[in-house]
Structure 1
Amino acid sequence: MSSNLNRNAAQGAASAAAHAAKRLVIKVGSAILCGPDGVREAWLSTLAADIVELRAGGVEIVVVTSGAIAIGRNRLGLKGALRLDEKQAASAAGQAALAQGWQAAFTPHDIAIAQVLLTLEDTENRRRYLNARATLRTLLGLGALPLVNENDTIATSEIRYGDNDRLAAHAAQLVESDLLVILSDIDGLYTADPRKDGSAKHIPLVEAITPEIERAAGGVNQSAGVGSGGMASKVAAAKIAGGAGCDTVIAPGLVDHPLKAVLDGGPATLFRASITHEGARRQWIAGRLKPSGRIVIDDGAAKALENGASLLPAGVKDVEGAFARGDAVEIVTLDGQSIGQGLIAFDAGDARKIAGAKSDRIEALLGYRRRPAMVEKDDLILRSE
């Protein structure tokens, strides 16, 4: 009886995660979206209906779409394996048609499509990351549907995500999504490739991505005729998203109303996130960002930080390095002891102007009004924590 309950809970895990999500990233691959003549308009209209219903319930949605190269290569008459320059040309030819296809599906619902083209540097470079995040958040606030794709026309092998599964995971990081849904031509992860092994068993719930899970993903879906991904890349994407506090669902996309199918408890695989959003952000600030400068503080400020306060300019004795607003800085005491790391709210020049000043002097010193904290407490990680 207990094992049946556990099995039923696992089967319904993807549906429960989808119902709970308030911000959702959906990845649609070329093999799902594109047919011989371009975008599969009838199918896309059913996905659009699902998205409209979710948005009406207060869910914010970002779409990551493939398809530009698949559409463009047909328009340009390109056959067989493509060189990088041919892929870039195909992307340029197909991108407009891809966006038009999505807009046509959402025009009846009076929803504007907003195209966002990213390269790997947009999520690896701190300032570009902040710009991309701000753009996506603004679009969501304005009620548009962000349509994300890799900027294939300029991306080289050195600056590519590699496939749109990984791009979708990074998009989920950017918007701090609760759930990433990857629509596939298979209904989730199996113990082996079900196309080759009739005894392969469907895995509805993955609590942790272990080497065994990664081995099960190897080779699955590698023979798809369109697209660059496979089950291995989808599991890799789930690992990236999970490390940012985002669950991932791999679900069948070839059915009509694919999101409704997930919500209704259809077959899928849910990968649990390995950490919360807050935990992921704290790890990122503390260890993944290289500090661009140092803020030297007095003993009183150090004590205040230990008690949970923000870092105010009055306690700052020196500002070292060249940095921009939003960069990571190291916080050190007068004797040179590193006590933490945080995201600075001022650029280096302004930080030097207000170092040691009382909060009510900041506007006069800078010529504009700002929140007084040099590093907000939510943007600060102490070594002792």
Structure 2
Amino acid sequence: MPDLSDDELLAELGVEVEQQKARTYTPREERIIAGFEDIVRFYEEHGRAPQHGEDRDIFERLYAVRLDRLHSLEDCRDLLTGMDKHGLLAGTQGDDAVAADEIDDDSLLAELGIQPAGGDDIRVLRHVPTADERRAAEEIANREKCEDFAKFKPLFEQVQQELETGARETRPFELKAEIRPGAFFIVGGQTAFVAEMDEIFTNDQGRSDARLRVVFDNATQSTMLMRSLQRALNKDDAGRRITESEAGPLFSGQAEEGDEASGIIYVLRSKSDHPVVAEHRELVHKIGVTNMKVEKRIAGAHLQPTFLMANVEIVAQYQLFNINRTKLEKLIHRVFGAAQLDLEISDRFGTLIKPREWFLVPLNAIDEAVERIRDGSITSYRYDPSQARIVLQ
């Protein structure tokens, strides 16, 4: 007997199969379904229902309001029951009665205080400030009287005097790391001083931030987030950072007329067969400062305990101008102090020597340290071996 399909078997039994007609939806129902499908996609991408809150993405907030509306309308729940595979509409119903014709994107955006760009695509928005941008603007604008301004006033006067004498300079703001306690900036036409910084934390977006106390030269203050000050400086075309007063001759990284090269930071790698050096050869570096050619400085390295009684190779050289070499070398050793190698080497006469200029650090960390020497910010940094990078103190 030939195989029969289900329909043919039913026909043999005299059973009529009623063809199910495809359901048609009204334009309003199609809009409701399409809007709910956006919410389902959000849930499947993020593993949770959309939530309210100014720190949320505008579309998540839109979906959250839309879900509340759908949740409160019985006819919408009935329409979407078969599609609600994640139970997004389950639970206690809302108390507010909402008219059915109010479920449209324009009204939801209006409820959020947002105006669409025009047309039907709500994903194209213009002039919509993010929650972070609004918060930054509010924190800059909303200041209070600084009750203890008397202790800060001399600092502002000193900074102004040092700017006039050239002991300090204003430079473009570039990095969030430049925002630290004791730093001065020009933002909104006023001088700002970072008086205090709380512990650094990770915000909801996974970015580092910290609460600051910022005092302004007009005797006001603001307790703003570090990222708020960063955004304000980036947005302000005239926003500047003010260099440290000690960032004068020591940290001058570019030659000017009449200057003479007076120092080279050099980085060496040892060819020693010492077990520690051999195991970490790519990370063990000698960092020093000299006023002579580095090739001349390392001549006869295999006879000197400071070079681990072995030949060395030059990894990097950085030329600086008008520096105090002794002070700079001490500063470099302080920055990398936590990574200083504890080695003992016998000299030619058998005397044990402890070289002090060898560090277990990657070359990129040394590069960053030199850049911070040149821009004058190095005094606020140190090397963290656990992170293998330069960090704020």
For this structure pair, what is the TM-score category when the shorter chain's length is used for normalisation?
under 0.3
- TM-score, reference length from structure 1: 0.26
* More helix by percentage: 1
Q: Highest Rg: 1 or 2?
A: 2
Higher relative contact order (CA 8 A, sep 6+): 1
